[in-house]
Structure 1
Amino acid sequence: MSRAVNRADLEEVHAEFYAAFEAGDFDRMADVWADGPYAAGVSCVHPGWTMLRGREEILRSWALIMANTAYIQFVLTDVETDIYGDHAVVTCKENVLTADEDSEAGFLAGGSIVATKLFVRVDGQWRLLLHHGSPVLNPADAEEE
């Protein structure tokens, strides 16, 4: 496979991670994460959470998050992709909008998260090994640095 094809395939699975989350589609999210010999070692840090390790624990967390998220939308910026053979690192800033349909006004909130993802290519398919999201507590201060 050429580098361009690898990059396009990687960008597609990276986008699928966010599409699955926005759609609240657990099966699509499960398809993004590595399985088989990698299942025990996959790791995830949701913003503000402790480290989760193992495919079952991570997918359980996504089921809970999706069940309790009425609306979420991501606008990604500063996306950087580096490929190292069958491994790849993608970093980005997640600009997040969420809404609560249980409130009268349909409360809308926003925030920023910096995210790092590590992917592995298995049988020609990129799969997620690690997702780490960390909230940007004061975006104005971060932009001044």
Structure 2
Amino acid sequence: MSDGEMTDPRQVEAVNTAFYQAVERGDLDTLGSIWVDAPYADSALCVHPGWLPLRGRDEILRSWALIMANSPYIQFFLTDLTVEVTGELAVVTCNENILTAVGHEADATGLAGGRAVTTNIFRRTPDGWRLWIHHASPVLGPEE
């Protein structure tokens, strides 16, 4: 990638989109290619809504494998997305509007919805932008 591509927020947004698409498809291989690897693998961090922090690439990918194995359907609708690129880091914030077929709160269609506010931090690597930190906090209460 050229220097211009590595500072272009659209490149970061494309990797962020690929992250959510991989989860929706249950594609652990693609998800693994999006998360940082050595030398940043041990410092990777993931906080799923309502979970304690997970540290390290292997633990994080295991958690996503578990989520995808137990989610027959999941779809993310991202809103209020912002991207900021500063040096070797890029920060994406967004609202995740989640539709899933998992859980006891499913309606008559078998689907349930949820919302989370998310911060995704990407690191610039020789292979392009890679997800380093994912932190999703649940939004409680009715929509405005």
Q: Provide the secondary structure at the position in 2 that maps to 1:17.
A: helix
Query: Kindly tell me: are residues 22 and 51 of structure 1, through their superposed partners in 2, closer, same or farther at Cα, counting changes over 3 Å?
Result: same
Structure 2 equivalent of residue 120 of structure 1: 123
Q: Which residues of structure 1 form unaligned runs of 5+?
A: none
- Residues 70/7 of structure 1: CA separation in 2 closer, same or farther (3 Å cut): same
- TM-score with structure 1 length normalisation? 0.89
Q: Answer yes or no: is 1:71 the counterpart of 2:90.
A: no
Q: TM-score, normalised by structure 2?
A: 0.90
Aligned amino acid, residue 59 of structure 1: L
User: In the TM superposition, what is the alpha-carbon distance from 1:83 to its structure 2 partner?
Assistant: 0.5
User: Is 1:6 aligned with 2:8?
Assistant: yes
- The letter of the residue matching 2:114 is G
Partners of 2:6 and 2:123 in 1: CA distance: 16
Q: Deviations over 1:60-91 (max 9, x none)?
A: 11111111010001110000111001101000
Q: Compare relative contact order (CA 8 Å, sep 6+) and give the higher one, 1 or 2.
A: 2
Q: 1:124 to 1:56 in 2, by over 3 A?
A: closer
Q: 1-side partners of 2:86 and 2:7: how far apart?
A: 14
**Residues paired across the two proteins, number:** 138
Task: Indicate which of 84, 87, 94 corresponds to 1:85.
Answer: 87
Distance 2:6 2:32 in 1: 26
- Counterpart CA distance in 1 for 2:45 and 2:83 is 19
The answer to whether the 8 Å contact 2:6/2:129 transfers is no
**Cα deviation digits, residues 17-69 of structure 1 (max 9, x gap):** 00000000100111110001000000000000000000110011111111101
